[in-house]
A and B are shown apart, each in its own frame.
Chain A
Protein backbone atom coordinates (compact mmCIF):
# COMPACT_ATOMS: atom_id res chain seq x y z
CA UNK A 1 0.00 0.00 0.00
CA UNK A 2 1.56 3.25 -1.14
CA UNK A 3 1.22 5.90 1.55
CA UNK A 4 1.95 9.54 2.14
CA UNK A 5 1.97 10.67 5.75
CA UNK A 6 1.46 14.17 7.08
CA UNK A 7 0.75 15.55 10.53
CA UNK A 8 -2.85 16.75 10.41
CA UNK A 9 -2.16 19.68 12.74
CA UNK A 10 -3.34 22.27 13.23
CA UNK A 11 0.06 23.90 13.11
CA UNK A 12 -0.07 27.38 14.59
CA UNK A 13 2.67 29.85 13.60
CA UNK A 14 2.99 33.56 14.46
CA UNK A 15 2.85 35.99 11.58
CA UNK A 16 6.31 36.66 10.17
CA UNK A 17 7.78 33.38 11.43
CA UNK A 18 8.80 30.32 9.40
CA UNK A 19 6.22 27.58 8.95
CA UNK A 20 7.66 24.09 8.47
CA UNK A 21 5.49 21.35 6.96
CA UNK A 22 6.65 17.77 6.67
CA UNK A 23 5.70 14.71 4.67
CA UNK A 24 6.99 11.15 4.38
CA UNK A 25 6.20 8.65 1.64
CA UNK A 26 6.49 4.90 1.32
CA UNK A 27 7.14 4.28 -2.39
CA UNK A 28 10.88 4.46 -3.09
CA UNK A 29 10.15 4.54 -6.81
CA UNK A 30 8.37 7.91 -6.62
CA UNK A 31 9.97 10.56 -8.79
CA UNK A 32 7.79 13.65 -8.49
CA UNK A 33 6.70 15.44 -5.34
CA UNK A 34 4.20 18.23 -4.95
CA UNK A 35 2.92 20.64 -2.36
CA UNK A 36 -0.60 21.98 -2.82
CA UNK A 37 -2.44 24.60 -0.82
CA UNK A 38 -6.18 24.24 -0.34
CA UNK A 39 -8.46 26.85 1.12
CA UNK A 40 -11.74 25.69 2.59
CA UNK A 41 -14.27 24.93 -0.13
CA UNK A 42 -11.73 25.46 -2.91
CA UNK A 43 -9.74 23.23 -5.20
CA UNK A 44 -6.04 22.49 -4.49
CA UNK A 45 -3.56 25.00 -5.86
CA UNK A 46 0.00 23.97 -6.74
CA UNK A 47 2.62 25.68 -4.58
CA UNK A 48 5.78 23.77 -5.40
CA UNK A 49 6.96 20.74 -7.29
CA UNK A 50 10.32 19.07 -6.71
CA UNK A 51 11.97 16.19 -8.51
CA UNK A 52 15.57 15.90 -7.26
CA UNK A 53 17.26 15.82 -3.88
CA UNK A 54 17.99 19.11 -2.21
CA UNK A 55 16.23 22.43 -1.92
CA UNK A 56 14.09 24.33 -4.38
CA UNK A 57 13.15 27.92 -3.65
CA UNK A 58 10.34 30.01 -5.08
CA UNK A 59 9.74 33.33 -3.37
CA UNK A 60 8.83 32.70 0.27
CA UNK A 61 8.51 28.96 -0.31
CA UNK A 62 11.27 26.35 -0.16
CA UNK A 63 10.70 22.67 -0.84
CA UNK A 64 13.23 20.16 0.43
CA UNK A 65 13.53 16.57 -0.79
CA UNK A 66 15.52 13.71 0.70
CA UNK A 67 14.87 10.53 -1.25
CA UNK A 68 17.11 8.40 0.97
CA UNK A 69 14.96 9.29 3.96
CA UNK A 70 11.76 9.39 1.86
CA UNK A 71 11.03 12.79 3.22
CA UNK A 72 9.81 16.02 1.67
CA UNK A 73 9.17 19.30 3.42
CA UNK A 74 7.87 22.78 2.71
CA UNK A 75 9.14 25.91 4.43
CA UNK A 76 7.17 29.13 4.30
CA UNK A 77 9.17 32.20 5.28
CA UNK A 78 7.64 35.43 6.58
CA UNK A 79 4.31 33.69 7.12
CA UNK A 80 1.23 35.77 6.38
CA UNK A 81 -2.36 35.29 7.58
CA UNK A 82 -3.27 34.56 3.95
CA UNK A 83 -1.04 31.47 4.16
CA UNK A 84 -3.56 29.93 6.55
CA UNK A 85 -4.88 26.89 4.70
CA UNK A 86 -4.52 23.13 4.48
CA UNK A 87 -1.30 22.02 2.80
CA UNK A 88 -1.43 18.76 0.91
CA UNK A 89 1.63 16.70 0.05
CA UNK A 90 1.31 14.54 -3.06
CA UNK A 91 3.65 12.01 -4.64
CA UNK A 92 3.19 10.40 -8.02
CA UNK A 93 3.43 6.69 -8.68
CA UNK A 94 4.50 4.75 -11.74
CA UNK A 95 1.02 5.17 -13.26
CA UNK A 96 1.24 8.96 -12.88
CA UNK A 97 -1.47 8.89 -10.25
CA UNK A 98 -1.00 11.20 -7.30
CA UNK A 99 -0.92 9.65 -3.85
CA UNK A 100 -2.15 12.23 -1.36
CA UNK A 101 -1.37 12.91 2.24
CA UNK A 102 -4.22 13.81 4.57
CA UNK A 103 -3.06 17.42 4.70
CA UNK A 104 -1.74 19.70 7.44
CA UNK A 105 -3.90 22.58 8.57
CA UNK A 106 -1.75 25.68 8.99
CA UNK A 107 -2.92 28.66 11.04
CA UNK A 108 -0.96 31.91 10.91
CA UNK A 109 -1.75 34.06 13.92
CA UNK A 110 -1.53 37.84 13.44
Chain B
Protein backbone atom coordinates (compact mmCIF):
# COMPACT_ATOMS: atom_id res chain seq x y z
CA UNK B 1 0.00 0.00 0.00
CA UNK B 2 0.89 3.66 -0.30
CA UNK B 3 3.12 4.95 2.50
CA UNK B 4 3.97 8.52 3.39
CA UNK B 5 6.85 9.09 5.78
CA UNK B 6 6.84 12.29 7.81
CA UNK B 7 9.73 13.48 9.98
CA UNK B 8 10.28 14.46 12.66
CA UNK B 9 7.37 13.04 14.64
CA UNK B 10 7.88 15.66 17.30
CA UNK B 11 10.09 18.70 17.75
CA UNK B 12 10.63 21.32 20.42
CA UNK B 13 12.23 24.57 19.35
CA UNK B 14 12.96 27.95 20.80
CA UNK B 15 10.91 30.96 19.84
CA UNK B 16 12.41 32.73 16.83
CA UNK B 17 14.06 29.68 15.31
CA UNK B 18 13.00 27.78 12.18
CA UNK B 19 11.85 24.20 11.90
CA UNK B 20 11.73 22.00 8.80
CA UNK B 21 9.29 19.12 8.43
CA UNK B 22 9.78 16.52 5.69
CA UNK B 23 7.16 14.47 3.96
CA UNK B 24 8.14 11.64 1.60
CA UNK B 25 5.99 9.31 -0.47
CA UNK B 26 7.90 6.04 -0.25
CA UNK B 27 6.39 3.80 -2.90
CA UNK B 28 4.54 6.13 -5.24
CA UNK B 29 4.92 9.48 -6.90
CA UNK B 30 2.66 12.09 -5.36
CA UNK B 31 0.91 14.38 -7.82
CA UNK B 32 -0.09 16.73 -5.05
CA UNK B 33 0.96 17.28 -1.46
CA UNK B 34 -1.29 18.87 1.14
CA UNK B 35 -0.16 20.39 4.43
CA UNK B 36 -2.56 20.57 7.36
CA UNK B 37 -2.46 21.99 10.84
CA UNK B 38 -4.59 20.65 13.66
CA UNK B 39 -5.17 22.29 17.02
CA UNK B 40 -6.44 20.26 19.99
CA UNK B 41 -10.05 19.11 19.69
CA UNK B 42 -10.36 20.67 16.22
CA UNK B 43 -10.52 19.22 12.76
CA UNK B 44 -7.78 19.44 10.16
CA UNK B 45 -7.16 22.87 8.69
CA UNK B 46 -5.67 22.93 5.20
CA UNK B 47 -2.69 25.26 5.06
CA UNK B 48 -1.50 24.81 1.50
CA UNK B 49 -1.53 22.62 -1.57
CA UNK B 50 1.59 22.01 -3.60
CA UNK B 51 2.30 20.35 -6.92
CA UNK B 52 5.76 19.19 -7.89
CA UNK B 53 7.84 21.92 -9.46
CA UNK B 54 5.36 24.72 -8.88
CA UNK B 55 4.67 27.20 -6.12
CA UNK B 56 2.36 26.17 -3.34
CA UNK B 57 -1.16 27.55 -3.13
CA UNK B 58 -1.86 28.83 0.35
CA UNK B 59 -5.23 28.99 2.04
CA UNK B 60 -6.58 32.33 3.12
CA UNK B 61 -5.00 33.51 6.35
CA UNK B 62 -1.87 31.34 6.04
CA UNK B 63 1.30 33.42 5.72
CA UNK B 64 3.36 32.10 2.83
CA UNK B 65 6.51 33.82 4.08
CA UNK B 66 6.17 32.15 7.45
CA UNK B 67 5.25 28.68 6.25
CA UNK B 68 7.61 27.89 3.40
CA UNK B 69 6.67 24.90 1.29
CA UNK B 70 9.03 23.26 -1.15
CA UNK B 71 7.91 20.45 -3.42
CA UNK B 72 11.09 19.79 -5.36
CA UNK B 73 10.31 16.25 -6.48
CA UNK B 74 7.37 13.88 -6.87
CA UNK B 75 8.35 12.14 -3.64
CA UNK B 76 9.41 14.94 -1.32
CA UNK B 77 7.75 18.02 0.10
CA UNK B 78 9.00 20.11 3.00
CA UNK B 79 7.31 22.63 5.27
CA UNK B 80 9.53 25.14 7.05
CA UNK B 81 8.07 27.13 9.89
CA UNK B 82 10.19 30.27 10.02
CA UNK B 83 10.68 32.43 13.10
CA UNK B 84 8.44 30.13 15.08
CA UNK B 85 6.39 31.49 17.96
CA UNK B 86 4.42 29.70 20.69
CA UNK B 87 1.17 30.22 18.77
CA UNK B 88 2.63 28.08 15.97
CA UNK B 89 2.65 25.10 18.32
CA UNK B 90 0.37 22.56 16.71
CA UNK B 91 0.12 19.16 15.05
CA UNK B 92 1.24 19.40 11.41
CA UNK B 93 0.20 16.66 8.99
CA UNK B 94 1.09 16.13 5.36
CA UNK B 95 -0.95 14.19 2.84
CA UNK B 96 0.02 12.96 -0.59
CA UNK B 97 -2.33 12.33 -3.45
CA UNK B 98 -1.82 10.34 -6.62
CA UNK B 99 -4.18 8.77 -9.12
CA UNK B 100 -4.98 5.27 -7.99
CA UNK B 101 -3.62 5.86 -4.50
CA UNK B 102 -6.11 8.34 -3.11
CA UNK B 103 -4.99 10.45 -0.19
CA UNK B 104 -2.29 9.05 2.09
CA UNK B 105 -1.36 10.77 5.31
CA UNK B 106 1.94 11.10 7.07
CA UNK B 107 2.11 10.29 10.76
CA UNK B 108 2.17 13.95 11.75
CA UNK B 109 4.63 16.25 13.52
CA UNK B 110 3.95 17.66 16.96
CA UNK B 111 5.63 21.09 17.09
CA UNK B 112 6.11 22.81 20.42
CA UNK B 113 7.63 26.29 20.45
CA UNK B 114 8.96 27.41 23.82
Residues of A within 8 A of B44 (CB): 44, 88, 100
- Given A41, A43, A49, A97, which contacts B106 in the complex, CB threshold below 8 Å? A43
Cα(A44)–Cα(B42), bound, Å: 13
Residues of A within 8 A of B6 (CB): 43
How extensive is the interface on chain B, given as a class?
20 to 34
When A43-B93, A44-B93, A46-B102 are in contact, do A102 and B107 touch as well, CB less than 8 Å?
no
When A97-B34, A97-B49, A98-B34 are in contact, do A46 and B42 touch as well, CB less than 8 Å?
no
Chain B interface (Cβ < 8 Å from any Cβ of A): 6, 32, 34, 42-44, 46, 49, 91, 93, 95, 97, 102-108, 110
> How far apart are B19's CB and chain A's nearest CB, in angstroms?
18
Q: Is the CB of A96 within 8 A of B32?
A: yes
Q: Is the CB of B46 within 8 A of A97?
A: yes
Residues of B within 8 A of A42 (CB): 107-108
Residues of A within 8 A of B105 (CB): 43-46
> How far apart are B43's CB and chain A's nearest CB, in angstroms?
5
Residues of B within 8 A of A102 (CB): 42-43
Residues of B within 8 A of A103 (CB): 43
> How far apart are B29's CB and chain A's nearest CB, in angstroms?
15
